[in-house]
Structure 1
Amino acid sequence: MPKVVISEFMDEAAIREGLSGLDTLYDPGLVDRPEALAAALAGADALIVRNRTQVRGALLAGAPDLKVVGRLGVGLDNIDVAACRARGVAVYPATGANDGAVAEYVVGTALLLLRGAYGASAEVAAGAWPRNALMGREIAGKRLGLVGFGAIARETARRAAALGMTVAAYDPYLPPDDPAWRSAHGAVAALALDALIASSDVLSLHVPLTDETRGLIGAAAIAGMPAGAVLINAARGGIVDEAAVAAALKAGHLGGAALDVFAREPLGAEDGAAFRDVPNLILTPHIAGVTRESNVRVSRVTADAVRRHLMEV
């Protein structure tokens, strides 16, 4: 009977239904216990992970029977795909299953940061009435700039257009004649990166972490954004210079920022200290793509892919 190891959290109904009949070890704490994870993988046929389990090097070497890795999400920077391919280990990301969740996160945080009216509960309850201080901005008529124009960015564009935003994107890998640029919700302007940065009221990142994108949005790029612009990174940590974001918010150049991903996760005390007392900043724990609904979809897609692969080999 094939053995499946699941090292991070997953919808339990999807495990019961999608992996029934298989020898399944579900322990979402394994990711934080490397020795226990290594022991569990010694005879495993399949491994299911999220973004924290590092599927590379010693972990792969210690799993000689491994045939398939299921990724509860779409990013693959925690998986040595080339090493898996060389060993004949299939890798299945849950493509498309959490696109809408990330898109809602981006648009929702943009609304929150532009309007700026939602942090006054304690003041209002205490009898203050800070109306002038809370006069924020509308999202309608603003330009959303998307760095990368893949599936998640397109879902984000669709929602933003419905709210009256104009949308532009930078994606050097998408041909100019691709129909994605001219979708049902309106044309998306294709711009060079510098032009996109310089003209976007809200800039949202939708690229993987690669040698090309590491540090892509640093101090110089942030300085090139319009005064008062909002920056959102729900893609991958390392693409944005976190210290530069904090500095630009403190200086008042950026009007707001939302960071869902970080160069090191979880944030340590030293890394987190850089964000202390930074205004107009939203920090979330790599949760943009994880909702109750998307967790079910991602888990079912992954369970089905792993089961199908094991039945075929």
Structure 2
Amino acid sequence: MILITEFMDESVIDSLSEHHPTVYDITLAEDKARLLEAIEPVEALIVRNKTIVDAELLSHGPNLKCIGRLGVGLDNIDVTSCEARNIPVFPAIGANIESVAEYVIGTAMILLRGAYGENASVIAGSWNRTECIGSEISNKSLGLLGLGAIGRKTAAKALSLGMDVQAYDPFVSPDDDLWTSVKPVEMDELARTSDIISIHVPLVETTFHLIDRVFINKCKAGSIIINTSRGGVVEEDSLIEALKSGNLGGAALDVFEKEPLDKDEGKKFSGLNNLILTPHIAGVTKESNYRVSKMIAEKVLGCLDTKF
């Protein structure tokens, strides 16, 4: 039996159902009691980032053979406990890099131009052309924190638009061919010289609040910060402070320290016209959802000795 607790491409779910009994119930993601009851006969569990796969859940699933993650981050999965049970965890590595890279470039363009929120004033007859003059993305400096698959795809798109790209990633070899087109810099230089900073690092102990008040205060005046990685990487209160003061020209946040962001927590972001907020959706488009779903279906069926 296959259990899917979060949204997945329905055509792929239909294909899974042709091979194994499949239950698709997105209400289980946040109903731990019902999930504990449902997991007993399950051989393959497919989740996104809301379903908490911990030691307790694993202990209730004696038949579990694998876990499919419809995404990349494994923050919600106790990988150590899975390894102790010899349960492989399959993330959808590489399947959503195109959509995340497009999100970064797209939000950067919107924030640089600054004119796309003028519907109300135009409808009201206010023709504020001079106030709507923004900037082009060409010849701007993009600073990338992290050069994994998504960072590299973003770099390629930025270079094609005539941007100068620099990056900090101590895990990339100095001999990597990427450095022929991307300038290697330390974090301080990246902060001081980048017009746009895009974050592509996992959330681990060393990256928690990596973008803090100290880093933000070093940033080039009027620069833009875009976070599509994990919410805890950015110290949100310091970011808000810099947006209000004008030290930062703008920001786009697709991820938050607390997810989902509730109404009370969201209040602190209100009134900021130079801020784009989205609900952890940078990596999810119709196309990427199909690619991610198909990749995980193939891996799960492979584990269950079935061809997709």
What's the TM-score, normalizing by structure 1?
Answer: 0.95
1:33 equivalenced with 2:24 (yes/no)? no
Q: Amino acid of the residue matched to residue 199 of structure 1?
A: T
- SS of equivalent to 2:248: coil
Contact kept, 8 Å, 1:18 with 1:300, in 2: the verdict is: no
Match of 1:261 in 2: 255
Match of 1:181 in 2: 179
The 2-side partners of 1:18 and 1:295 are apart by 15
1:226 equivalenced with 2:223 (yes/no)? no
Q: Deviation above 4 Å: which 4+ runs of structure 1?
A: none
Residue number among 63, 66, 69 corresponding to 2:64 in the alignment: 66
Deviation at 1:19, TM superposition (A): 4.7
Deviation at 1:125, TM superposition (A): 1.4
- SS of equivalent to 1:89: coil
Match of 1:199 in 2: 193
Deviation at 1:18, TM superposition (A): 4.0
1:293 equivalenced with 2:287 (yes/no)? yes
The 2-side partners of 1:195 and 1:86 are apart by 42
Contact kept, 8 Å, 2:228 with 2:282, in 1: the verdict is: yes
Residue number among 245, 248, 259 corresponding to 2:242 in the alignment: 248
1:271 equivalenced with 2:269 (yes/no)? no
Superposed, 1:89-100 pairs within 5 Å as: 89-100=87-98
The 2-side partners of 1:245 and 1:213 are apart by 16
Superposed, 1:1-313 pairs within 5 Å as: 3-182=1-180, 187-311=181-305
**Percent identical:** 51
Deviations 1:189-232 (A, max 9, x none): 11111111111100000011000101100111111110100000
Deviation at 1:75, TM superposition (A): 1.0
Contact kept, 8 Å, 2:16 with 2:22, in 1: the verdict is: no
Count of residue correspondences? 306
The 2-side partners of 1:58 and 1:271 are apart by 29
- SS of equivalent to 2:167: strand
Contact kept, 8 Å, 1:229 with 1:256, in 2: the verdict is: yes
Contact kept, 8 Å, 1:6 with 1:48, in 2: the verdict is: yes
Task: Point out where structure 1 has 5 or more consecutive residues left out of the alignment.
Answer: none
Deviation at 1:271, TM superposition (A): 1.3
The 1-side partners of 2:51 and 2:84 are apart by 20
The 2-side partners of 1:288 and 1:29 are apart by 23
The 2-side partners of 1:32 and 1:52 are apart by 7
Compared CA separation, residues 180 and 18, structure 1 to 2 (3 A): farther
- SS of equivalent to 2:170: coil
- SS of equivalent to 1:279: coil
Contact kept, 8 Å, 1:19 with 1:307, in 2: the verdict is: no
Deviation at 1:35, TM superposition (A): 1.4
The 2-side partners of 1:57 and 1:280 are apart by 42
Deviations 1:272-311 (A, max 9, x none): 1111112300000000000000000000000010000111
Q: Amino acid of the residue matched to residue 44 of structure 1?
A: V
Worse-matched range after superposition: 15-24 or 149-158: 15-24
- SS of equivalent to 1:118: coil
Contact kept, 8 Å, 1:18 with 1:304, in 2: the verdict is: no
Contact kept, 8 Å, 2:45 with 2:66, in 1: the verdict is: yes
The 2-side partners of 1:261 and 1:20 are apart by 35
Deviations 1:20-51 (A, max 9, x none): 22011111221122111111112211110011
The 2-side partners of 1:210 and 1:251 are apart by 30
Contact kept, 8 Å, 1:249 with 1:279, in 2: the verdict is: no
The 2-side partners of 1:152 and 1:18 are apart by 28
Q: Amino acid of the residue matched to residue 96 of structure 1?
A: G
Deviations 1:93-142 (A, max 9, x none): 11111000000000000000011011111111111111111111111110
The 2-side partners of 1:281 and 1:287 are apart by 16
Q: Amino acid of the residue matched to residue 176 of structure 1?
A: P
Contact kept, 8 Å, 2:211 with 2:235, in 1: the verdict is: yes
